[in-house]
């Protein structure tokens, strides 16, 4: 019989599932806004490790 995850892990997984469902139901404009924000956060981390490739350079847009 497999072990059940602790209750706090179960709650965490439920919150994660609810967050994913909310993201899936979000309008396209909100999804693009979130995507651009995540890219803005991620690109400086990548740029510190190596030069950005041409396709990784962000566009200068604000939705």
d(CA 27, CA 29): 6
> Are the beta carbons of 58 and 40 closer than 8 angstroms?
yes
Residue 26 carries which DSSP code?
S
Task: Say whether pLDDT at 58 is over 60.
Answer: yes
Residue 42 is assigned to a structural domain of this protein: yes
Number of domains within the chain: 1
Task: Say whether pLDDT at 57 is over 90.
Answer: no
Task: Say whether pLDDT at 4 is over 70.
Answer: yes
**pTM higher than 0.85 for the full model?**
no
Task: Say whether pLDDT at 40 is over 90.
Answer: no
Residue 32 is assigned to a structural domain of this protein: yes
Residue 33 is assigned to a structural domain of this protein: yes
Band of the pLDDT at 60, cuts 50, 70, 90? confident
Q: Which two tokens stand for residue 2?
A: 């497999």
Residue 4 is assigned to a structural domain of this protein: no
pLDDT tens-digit series, residues 5-23? 788 889 999 999 999 999 9
Range of the domain at 48: 27-63
Residue 22 is assigned to a structural domain of this protein: no
Residue 31 is assigned to a structural domain of this protein: yes
d(CA 38, CA 15): 20
């Amino acid at each position: 019989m497999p072990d059940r995850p602790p209750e706090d892990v179960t709650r965490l997984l439920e919150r994660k599932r609810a967050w994913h469902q909310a993201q899936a139901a979000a309008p396209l404009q909100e999804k693009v806004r979130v995507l651009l924000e995540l890219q803005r956060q991620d690109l400086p981390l990548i740029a510190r490790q190596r030069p950005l490739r041409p396709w990784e350079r962000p566009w200068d847009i604000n939705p």
